[in-house]
Structure 1
Amino acid sequence: MDELAASVLRFIADPKSQPIGDNEMFARLVVEKPLMRVGEVWVASRHDVVSALARHPNCVLRMPDGWSGSQHADDRIGELLEGLLPIQPTADHRRLRRLVSGGFSAKSISGLRPVVQSIVDELFAEPLERGECEFIGEVCGPLPVYTTVAMLGLPEADRPQVFEWARAVNALVLAEVTGRFGGWSGAAAPSEAGTAGLTEVVGYVEDLVRRRLADPGEDLISRLARESSGEDGKLSHAELVSMVLTLFMAGIDTVGSGLANVVTALDQNPEAWRRVVVDPSLARAAYVEGTRLLPALPMMGRIVDADVELHGIVIPAGSTVLLMYGAANLDPAAFTDPTRFDLDRTETNHLSFGHGPHYCLGAGLAMLQGEIVLETLARRAPGFRIVDGPAERRGELAFHSRASMRLRFASGEPLVGAVA
């Protein structure tokens, strides 16, 4: 096994072995090993190869063999977990995604701007007053949860509980996937808190669905509930509950981790941040470019249901394929000067939000949240600093992001040479 392949295996076995912001391995993969087999896993890294596999009908997103939600709770809850949108068979996935996509249209997302701005202002109020915060715990984590609570028309009083449920259930599912994926031994065992949280959140969602069916409003759950009403309902009751569960869990980790990575990237590129401070309309471009360079999910697995041939190489049925989004985003054939943070970049085809039928449904909402956070920082704390030393990254296989990030706020000059 050559040195590059060994580096990939080391990264899979110990995600913390690659510091955040160190993209050398990804950049080399694109050029030297666009598609290779490493142990029992196939690794795709070049932009065109990753894109082709992401949209290939034989490369599917599903839970690993042997997984069943029912092993953690009763059969009813297991069935609901197995009905989560991302892991549905192609035809069902297309049908269900079409039903919910209206809630994530450009018009719907644009209408959420004042809501998200209000949440961001609320989350920053106390930290700005005291002059510092634990950015991931106080802003990045709550922001997507509070936004989801607003989208779904839930009481604000339920925010803390929804936050705890979402974190516990996400950790449970992540432990299952990584524990069975590619022989990786670094996954934590599913926790009792995750199992209990799963049972509680399913009960909460089922009660919520019953109330929306009886007394619908204009929120997203009510719209979905109308699709399940009557003899010609497009959604079964179980599908409706699973869909709401998906909405509860979706984006909780990815939005927060992605936002922390963008701030890390800006810390490493102070000239770009100065431009955002001078012209906050560049906040969205900064968010998009930051997620290209430091995606929260630099890779995603697929299962090959039938043989796939690509560039003369056959990936046999039953194989696991790692789509290295983080490497594809550094492909010089797709991006000019790919390792540079460029606010004026015109290539917008990065893969940090996926590609093909599983392109992130909430990408537009994530961009809105990131844009508003950066605008708020530029306006109210342009001289913020990362002050907690070298970044310790999360230990899960899926996420490549910091475990914590302490920011100190200042209204003066934009950050220069801060510690990342």
Structure 2
Amino acid sequence: MKIAEARVGTRLTVQRAVVWAVAASGDQLARLAAAPWRDDPYSIYERLRSGPPITRSRFGWYAVTGHDLCSRILRDRRFHVRSVDGVEPQVLTEPLIPADYAVTPTFLELDAPDHTRLRALARPAFSPSKIEGYRATVTKTTNELLDRALAKPEFDLMTDFAAPLPIAVISELLGIPEVDADRFAEYGRALGAALDGVTSLRQARALRAATMELRALFGDLIQERSREPGPDVISALVSAMGTGKLTELELLTTCELLLIAGFETTANLIGNGMWAFARHPDQWERLRADPELAPGAVEEILRFESPVQMTQRMPHEEVEIEGVHLPTDSIVVLLLGAAGRDPAVFSDPDRFDIGRPDTDHLAFSSGVHYCLGAPLARLEADIALRALADRLPTVRPLATPEWRGTTVIRGLKSLRLRP
């Protein structure tokens, strides 16, 4: 195994070097996956937008920047998240890691009918009445976290507030009794980074460790809920498993998805938003003066600095679109972050304006894979922004924050603030 791992490690290193070399040569699409260029994807999107509506990379995949075209493809039933034979696409990385490190896909990475079946089982947890029922928990947790954070001479918005808030909420929703917010945040970083593809053995090991720990956690909870059901989501899914509506492995992966997706997007939504406010203090003053602008502020953050920058689809037949021939199973990367800055849809798109009337972004995707947890993320971010605006006179970072070294997920490593 060690020899096999060493060989794979060497191949992954070569692969990273190739991506970087292509990026350094000026390939804009490769730059989205390579440091230091990926820290500023918006300048790359602008250059891509000046060209054809669909750009083909040297790696053979196709990229789309326009809002209208991204939306059309997301809703087009000819496009799927997996290939005709059910394989998940790899954009800039080959499936080089040993089988022992492979991760079972969640329903987010499945097509109909499995996606439809599993999504339907999870949907009741995110009904309008359920979402409204979480309001008290979100408000209480928000105030408790802010009390502790603001009592310090300085605090890290990401680790002291933005991540612990949605972790606490989704853990209660799932019925997880004891929550280690720092540990769960590590799980989120490991699984979130995997959306870019596995690019090193170190990353593969972290991913496997996170997956194994989550499987153990949820395995124990599933056994407990089998004996003593409760009002939580896991109990409902265990009941569905008992009637043959999903397998135990599907139950485990669905729990993992609900946990990680339940806090990764919201944590980065809050973090990205506060960094945007730090760069646009006039907008912070507007929010403080009128807290009712909070819902619009959430939508503007999602448009302006989307936590999810891209998604991908594969046509199950040959498709002609915008004069470009897309072969069956070709990889089409939809740049959601670019769609949010499309000047054909948004006036002055690079301006952060929480009163903007046109915020029809694609941050939560569209079509059959529209984010199931979007209403919960909006509720959490709305309450968080109102509380922060009420208690934080200014947003004053102690240093320019660093972005996480990922492409699909856009979020800050930390954001240190002084109350």
TM-score norm. by structure 2 comes to 0.84
| 2:194–2:207 CA contact under 8 A, matched in 1 | no
Alignment-derived partner of residue 369 in structure 1: 380
CA shift in 2, pair 1:148/1:204, >3 Å: same
Distance between the aligned counterparts of 1:68 and 1:118, measured in 2? Answer: 45
Moved more, 301-310 or 362-371: 301-310
| 2:364–2:371 CA contact under 8 A, matched in 1 | yes
Aligned-pair RMSD on alpha carbons?
Answer: 2.8
Q: Work out the percentage of aligned pairs sharing the same amino acid.
A: 31
Distance between the aligned counterparts of 1:280 and 1:173, measured in 2? Answer: 32
CA shift in 2, pair 1:99/1:293, >3 Å: same
| 1:36–1:44 CA contact under 8 A, matched in 2 | yes
* 1:29-68 paired onto structure 2 within 5 Å: 29-40=48-59, 41-62=61-82, 63-64=88-89
Alignment-derived partner of residue 204 in structure 1: 217
Alignment-derived partner of residue 234 in structure 2: 221
| 2:167–2:184 CA contact under 8 A, matched in 1 | no
Q: CA deviation at 1:67?
A: 5.1
Q: CA deviation at 1:365?
A: 1.1
* Equivalent residue in structure 2 for 1:324, among 313, 325, 335: 335
CA shift in 2, pair 1:288/1:317, >3 Å: same
| 1:55–1:355 CA contact under 8 A, matched in 2 | yes
Q: CA deviation at 1:407?
A: 0.8
Residue 250 (str. 1) matches residue 261 (str. 2): yes
Q: CA deviation at 1:354?
A: 1.2
* 1:157-176 paired onto structure 2 within 5 Å: 158-160=178-180, 163-165=182-184, 167-168=186-187, 171=190, 174-175=193-194
Alignment-derived partner of residue 44 in structure 2: 25
User: 2:67 is matched by which residue type in structure 1?
Assistant: H
Alignment-derived partner of residue 203 in structure 2: 190
| 1:132–1:406 CA contact under 8 A, matched in 2 | yes
CA shift in 2, pair 1:61/1:69, >3 Å: farther
- Structure 1: stretches of 5+ with no match in the other structure: 180-184, 410-420
User: 1:217 is matched by which residue type in structure 2?
Assistant: G
Distance between the aligned counterparts of 1:224 and 1:251, measured in 2? Answer: 16
CA shift in 2, pair 1:69/1:96, >3 Å: farther
SS of equivalent residue, structure 2 residue 108? helix
Q: CA deviation at 1:170?
A: 5.0
Q: CA deviation at 1:275?
A: 1.2
User: 1:147 is matched by which residue type in structure 2?
Assistant: V
| 2:225–2:234 CA contact under 8 A, matched in 1 | yes
Alignment-derived partner of residue 396 in structure 1: 406
| 2:162–2:270 CA contact under 8 A, matched in 1 | yes
SS of equivalent residue, structure 1 residue 343? coil
CA shift in 2, pair 1:19/1:228, >3 Å: closer
User: 1:50 is matched by which residue type in structure 2?
Assistant: C
Alignment-derived partner of residue 100 in structure 2: 72
TM-score norm. by structure 1 comes to 0.84
CA shift in 2, pair 1:249/1:154, >3 Å: same
* Equivalent residue in structure 2 for 1:131, among 153, 167, 191: 153
